[in-house]
Amino acid sequence: MNILVCISHVPDTTSKINFTENNSLFDTNGVQYIINPNDEFGLTRAIWLKEKQGAQIHVIHVGAADADPTLRKCLAIGADKAFRIDTAAVDGNAVAHELAAFVKNNSYDLIIAGRESIDYNGGMVPGMLAALLDIPFVPNCVGLEIDGSIAVAEREIDGGREKLKGSLPMVIGGQKGLVEESDLRIPNMRGIMQARQKPFEVVPAQQASASSQDITFEKPAPKGDVKLVSADDLDQLIELLHKEAKVL
């Protein structure tokens, strides 16, 4: 089985979010980048599939060379080959088109991406990719079993779960639940050494055109001070929630 895992390169979850160039660019100063957590759950599930039933795992990123260490980390924890499509990732549509062109030239049984990236939270690339390839897509995926050419994938719905069955190839939008946090792999020295020998290919872009563009950023207005209510006067809390906040 050939599995492609799509990797976003995102600021660490504890990063301070600031902007520069007149609020038109994300300020990367002092920011640590990581594998997008939702993608890492997917990659780890792919590694399990490889260990259990055998698979080749390719990872791919659309973007600039600053993501290369993130892709190397994917190789160190178990992916077999990395690709980077060398272009600025302007929007979800352009990224999905780049990925679709790549997938059409290669052959994958399963394409795993994350539910969404934790930076722009678009959650759009996997579904767009599936639509462009005209293959099934399961988002918010918390369970995945492959049997021959059939996949059974479970997705989170509002207030529950839905189990869906379809033919491969399929696109999955993975998240926590596909594997647990404690299952994530930490690269060991052997993995890191092996990763240096694993193939890493920079692929020229199709120059797919974007249909949207992020123009300016804004930080939420600073929050007013919290109003503290004495634990002995909870009637006051109810009064405030009812009359001032108007949420009761």
Partner 1 sequence: MSVLVFAESENNTLKRNAAEVASYGVALAEKLGTKCTAISFNTNNAKELGAFGIAHVANINIASNHFDANAYAGAIEDHAKNTNVTHIVLGSSADAKFLAPILSGKLGAAYAPNAVALPNEMNPLTVKRTAFTNKAFVYTQLTSDINIIGVGNNTFGAVENAIDCTVEDMDSKQFTSNLEQVSVDKVTGKATIADADVVVSGGRGLKGPEHWHLVEDLANVLGAATACSKPVSDMGWRSHDEHVGQTGKPVSTNLYIAIGISGAIQHLAGVNASKVKVVINNDPEAPFFKAADYGVVGDAFEVVPELIEKLKVFKAQG
Per CB under 8 A, which of residues 43..82 are in contact with partner 1?
Answer: none
| Structure tokens that stand for 5 in this block | 């895992």
**Stretch touching partner 1 by CB under 8 A, among 56-64, 75-83, 149-157, 194-202:** 149-157
Q: Segment 107-126, which members bind partner 1 (CB under 8 A)?
A: 118-126
**Stretch touching partner 1 by CB under 8 A, among 47-55, 56-64, 156-164, 191-199:** 156-164
- The nearer residue to partner 1, 189 or 247, going by C-beta atoms, is 247
User: Using CA atoms, how far apart are residues 125 and 117, in angstroms rounded to an integer?
Assistant: 10
User: Using CA atoms, how far apart are residues 34 and 42, in angstroms rounded to an integer?
Assistant: 14
- The nearer residue to partner 1, 196 or 227, going by C-beta atoms, is 227
| Structure tokens that stand for 232 in this block | 């002995």
Position 5 contacts partner 1 (CB under 8 A)? no
- The nearer residue to partner 1, 62 or 195, going by C-beta atoms, is 62
- The nearer residue to partner 1, 10 or 195, going by C-beta atoms, is 10
For the beta carbon of residue 229, count every other beta carbon within 10 angstroms. 15
Burial of 181 (0-12, 13-18, 19+ CB in 10 A): exposed
Position 238 contacts partner 1 (CB under 8 A)? yes
SS3 assignment, position 155: strand
Q: Segment 178-237, which members bind partner 1 (CB under 8 A)?
A: 180-182, 211-220, 223-224, 226-231, 234-235, 237
- In the list 3, 57, 75, 128, the residue contacting partner 1 (rule: CB under 8 A) is 128
Count of chain residues binding partner 1 (CB under 8 A): 81
- In the list 42, 78, 139, 174, the residue contacting partner 1 (rule: CB under 8 A) is 139
- The nearer residue to partner 1, 60 or 125, going by C-beta atoms, is 125
Position 30 contacts partner 1 (CB under 8 A)? no
Residue 11, strand partner residues: 33
Alpha-carbon radius of gyration of the chain: 21
Position 245 contacts partner 1 (CB under 8 A)? yes
Q: Are strands 56-63 and 33-35 parallel, antiparallel or unpaired?
A: unpaired
Closest distance of CB 152 from partner 1, Å? 6
For the beta carbon of residue 3, count every other beta carbon within 10 angstroms. 26
- In the list 57, 92, 103, 111, the residue contacting partner 1 (rule: CB under 8 A) is 92
Position 155 contacts partner 1 (CB under 8 A)? yes
What are the distances in angstroms from CA 166 to CA 38, 68, 202? 22, 33, 32
E strands of 42-114, at which residues?
Answer: 56-63, 81-86, 110-114
